[in-house]
Amino acid sequence: MKIINFNISQFRNIKHLNLKPSEQVNLFYGDNAQGKTNILEAIYYLSTGRSFRAKQDGDCIPHNSGNNIPSIISAKINRIEGDIRIVIHLSKNEKVVTINQKKINKLSLLWGKFPTVLFIPDDIQIIKGNPQRRRRFLDTSIGQIHSQYLIYLQRYDFIIRERNALLKSIKDIKAVKNQISIWDKQLIEIGTEILFQRNAMTKKIAEYFAQSYNTISSSKENAELIYTLSFEKEFFAHKKSAYEIYKTILEENLKSDLKIGYTQIGPHRDDFDILLDGKSAKYFSSQGQQKSSILALKMAEIYYMNQEKGEMPVLLIDDLSSELDDKRLLNFLELLGEGIQTFITSITLIQSIKSNFSTSSFKIKNGEIT
């Protein structure tokens, strides 16, 4: 997977940018607030149809642009399945996505066409933050490979909201049983699909995560990745029996769910943990160990996507110099080899990268390549 060329127009502080990037490492450097991250954000938009920074698309449109001037991002992508061109128009009230000049009506149709792996400073919260961050990591990775998975997530979220609303509005257990069974049937089917796919991904990346951690950190620590269910592990023995386990536990928890007003088990309550020598990295690891863990997790994500798609995703690394020392970075990039196209932002031009890899460097000032 490679970006052959991309164009950005009226996106944040970037008025116009046309670039034919290197097939290997592309380094964008310069002072803060010059537009380096905006370039990565634009590439990520082409992958997922959304920003990794802004909650609303309108935040990416320059404030001084006219109401009729959209932000436009486009790229030609080289893939094994065949080259495609993705174009995104962002206006104050609308987002239009086209693939090979054909408009798509759902973002799920974009996901998987151009997979990316993103590393940003805030990713340390995957380890230190709440379980929702870790679930989002799994969901974003799986969603870029299996677009149907996104539909499962959307449907599951809707069902959980409706079930919780029912639990809050009806306090009589006999009355609620009659109505909640309709939601529970859908919850079991869709929830099981989500759980099985999350578990499958975790199993596939666990060994590679451990190997990558040791290489990146130059450590002999035993690193593990463990997926934790909100109910027993026997759930994954067989999908048919999983339905019955899910149904039984929902029934057993109904009285308690009714008391507190929300659903206590399911994909929305699951988590995974990173263990170093048997201890949770969230509580018992140094900052350096946590950074190594995140890099290893991203390496495992790249491995997973390559295994599932048959080609490497594009890697995006933001704010490199503030997060990684040269040794960990070089160990990480050496794991990648030459098969992955990488885009890196940094405040300074990092000589160690230029000395060790085929690199195209671009100085960014006021949203322009100087």
Q: How far apart are CA 351 and CA 195, in angstroms?
A: 44
List Cβ neighbours of 368 (8 Å cut-off, separation of 6 or more).
14, 15, 17, 35
Q: How far apart are CA 156 and CA 159, in angstroms?
A: 5
Q: Which of 351 and 158 is assigned the larger pLDDT?
A: 158
- The side-by-side arrangement of strands in the sheet containing 368-369 is 116-119, 314-317, 342-346, 25-29, 359-365, 368-369
pLDDT exceeds 80 at position 336? no
Q: Helix, strand, coil proportions of the chain in percent (round to 5)? A: 50, 20, 25
pLDDT exceeds 90 at position 330? no
Q: What is the pLDDT of residue 274?
A: 94
Q: How far apart are CA 351 and CA 97, in angstroms?
A: 38
* 180 and 261 Cβ atoms separated by less than 8 Å: no
> How many beta carbons lie within 10 A of that of residue 155, not counting itself?
17
pLDDT digits (tens, 9 = 90+) for 53-104: 988 888 888 877 656 688 999 999 999 999 999 999 998 888 999 999 999 9
Render 12-27 in DSSP notation, one character per residue. Answer: TTEEEEEE---SSEEE
All structural domains of the chain with their residue ranges: 1-115+314-370, 126-312
Residue 339's pLDDT band, with cuts at 50, 70 and 90, is confident
Query: Which one-letter amino acid corresponds to residue 183?
Result: W
Pairing assessment for the beta strands 314-317 and 279-280 based on DSSP bridges: unpaired
pTM: 0.90
Q: Which of 261 and 92 is assigned the larger pLDDT?
A: 261
Burial level of 26, CB count in 10 A (0-12/13-18/19+)? Answer: buried
Residue 350's pLDDT band, with cuts at 50, 70 and 90, is low
pLDDT exceeds 70 at position 341? yes
CATH architecture of 1-115+314-370: 3-Layer(aba) Sandwich (3.40)
Topology annotation, domain 126-312: Glutathione S-transferase Yfyf (Class Pi); Chain A, domain 2 (1.20.1050)
Answer left, alpha or beta for residue 101, where phi above 0 means left and psi between -120 and 50 means alpha. Answer: left
Q: Which of 279 and 357 is assigned the larger pLDDT?
A: 279
Query: Average pLDDT, whole number, for the chain?
Result: 89
Query: Which one-letter amino acid corresponds to residue 178?
Result: N
List Cβ neighbours of 196 (8 Å cut-off, separation of 6 or more).
236, 239, 242
Q: What is the pLDDT of residue 287?
A: 84
Q: Pick the closest to residue 311 from 113, 119, 120, 150 (CA basis).
A: 113
Q: What is the pLDDT of residue 67?
A: 60
pLDDT digits (tens, 9 = 90+) for 21-38: 999 889 998 888 888 999
